[in-house]
């Protein structure tokens, strides 16, 4: 029995060694890809040493909570959690790592007043043992919190080696992702078993983590923390300024769109013109670097476009208001009558629709919803999240809904009710964090 256990440990070590070797060999390609992406987003090459674990240690000896959020979406989800941590644990610092420039930009925007004082940020080090160990030894965190399902073998192995407890928060695991992790066998099992707590959004996701080897006692259904996102303090005043500018027009929000989805929404706008309706399309591309391409697409279709970076409000002549700034989507949802949430008409998997629901706005999405898993089931059943299978169905449904204000109002009220019913995940998450950090 002891020999078998030793064989399993040695086998696992060999798997991680092979993984690390492959990662080391791929570093030239990784850096080449980084350079290529930096041609559009120069920030990818900013602070390159951080990607190898080179970060300055905090200037004082306060306890550090390490929060990893891949990109802007995960950072938005983590923002209210981070604020709760800062409030409940006034003697602690929060160190945020990201993997994209948009994630880093959101940290700077959301925590401008605390940055460099109680909130620090850096790139996530590459998943090589020495990079992760170098980072952990410099920062000396007391707790590692990973937002959503972000699993890196060497990160978790080095955290375990350093005695650093790790928690997965807002965890989600689709059936297809679970199958992928299952194929990795012992490597996946080792990562999942290294978590002190796994906090998931739904019961089926809990079952998948357990099936992959997680201790059932460590996997807790807390719900999504995205429904507990803190709204901006100036939301009411901003909406008071914005709404009169568009109050006489039907407004469609195209949020977090990807290539191919803007064209579908422009088809809808052209259909609206043919029906004699002076509708406005607010477009918020998922990736800011695509703004110029989206602008060219709109102008190529003969649309009058105003850019948020150039004007404060859409004009009466605007066909499209291009939201090319960061952190303002939550405001413009508040002036929309209907929303399309992207990543769903193309096989990305769908993005967060709850920001629309918190404003009492019905949502249309395409058939690709695998990133959302079971979360939207209640919204779909209530008809406030409508799923279409193709672009023609989206155009038809959006026009039908916008032509029926009474139905829009009913659906919006139900969306807001369901949104409020889905809240509470943050409270349950903080209760679990308290088991590691104490009451604060």
Q: Which residues of 58-93 are buried (b: 16+ CB within 10 A; e: fewer)?
A: beeeeebbbbbbbbbbbbbbbbbbbbbbbeebeebb
CA distance to 7, 207, 345, 365, 402, per residue, from 390 (Å): 52, 32, 7, 10, 19
Q: Determine which helix (DSSP H) or strand (DSSP E) holds 305, and give its type and residue range.
A: strand 305-307
State CA 81 to chain mean position distance.
Answer: 14
Pairing of strands 219-221, 363-365: unpaired
Which residues belong to the active site?
74
What DSSP line would sit under 341-354, residue for residue? ESSTTTTT-----H
CA distance to 338, 373, 422, per residue, from 409 (Å): 10, 27, 20
| First-residue to last-residue Cα distance in the chain | 44
For 31, phi and psi rounded to 5 degrees? -70, -35
What's the rounded Cα separation, in Å, for the pair 123 and 112?
A: 17
What's the rounded Cα separation, in Å, for the pair 70 and 389?
A: 29
What's the rounded Cα separation, in Å, for the pair 8 and 6?
A: 5
Burial of residue 95 (CB within 10 Å: 0-12, 13-18, 19+) is buried
* CA proximity to 425, closest of 276, 132, 229, 217: 229
Residues 432, 222: contact at Cβ < 8 Å? yes
């Amino acid at each position: 029995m002891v020999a078998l256990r030793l064989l399993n440990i040695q086998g696992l070590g060999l798997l991680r060694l092979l993984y690390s070797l492959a990662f080391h060999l791929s570093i030239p390609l990784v850096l080449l890809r980084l350079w290529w992406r930096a041609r559009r987003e120069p920030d990818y090459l900013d602070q390159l040493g951080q990607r190898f674990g080179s970060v300055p240690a905090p200037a004082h000896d306060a306890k550090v909570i390490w929060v990893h959020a891949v990109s802007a979406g995960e950072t938005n989800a983590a923002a209210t959690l981070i604020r709760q941590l800062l409030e409940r644990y006034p003697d602690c610092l929060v160190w945020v790592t990201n993997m994209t420039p948009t994630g880093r930009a959101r940290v700077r925007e959301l925590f401008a007043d605390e940055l460099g004082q109680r909130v620090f940020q850096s790139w996530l080090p590459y998943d090589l043992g020495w990079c992760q160990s170098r980072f952990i030894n410099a920062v000396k965190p007391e707790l590692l919190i990973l937002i959503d399902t972000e699993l890196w073998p060497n990160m978790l192995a080095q955290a375990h080696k350093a005695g650093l407890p790790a928690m997965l928060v807002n965890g989600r695991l689709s059936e297809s992702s679970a199958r992928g992790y299952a194929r990795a066998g012992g490597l996946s099992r080792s990562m999942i078993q290294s978590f002190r707590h796994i906090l998931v959004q739904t019961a089926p996701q809990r079952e998948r983590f357990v099936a992959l080897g997680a201790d059932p006692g460590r996997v807790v259904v807390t719900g999504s923390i995205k429904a507990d996102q803190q709204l901006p303090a100036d939301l009411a005043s901003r909406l008071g300024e914005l709404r009169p500018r568009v109050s006489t027009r039907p407004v469609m929000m195209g949020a977090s769109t990807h290539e191919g989805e803007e064209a579908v929404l422009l088809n809808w706008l052209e259909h609206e013109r043919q029906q004699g309706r002076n509708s406005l399309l607010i477009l918020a591309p998922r990736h800011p670097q695509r703004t110029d391409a989206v602008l060219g697409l709109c102008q190529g279709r003969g649309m009058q476009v105003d850019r948020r970076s150039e004007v404060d409000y859409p004009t009466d002549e605007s066909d499209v208001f291009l939201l090319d700034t960061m952190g303002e989507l939550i405001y413009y949802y508040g002036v929309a009558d209907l929303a399309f949430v992207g990543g769903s008409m193309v096989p990305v998997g769908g993005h967060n629709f709850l920001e629309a629901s918190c404003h009492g706005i019905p949502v249309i999405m395409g058939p690709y919803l695998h990133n959302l898993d079971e979360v939207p089931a209640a919204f779909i059943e209530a008809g406030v999240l409508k799923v279409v299978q193709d672009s023609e169905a989206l155009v038809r449904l959006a026009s039908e809904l916008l032509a029926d204000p009474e139905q829009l109002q009913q659906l919006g009220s139900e969306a807001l009710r369901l949104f409020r019913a889905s809240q509470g995940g943050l409270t349950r998450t903080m209760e679990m964090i308290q088991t590691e950090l104490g009451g604060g």
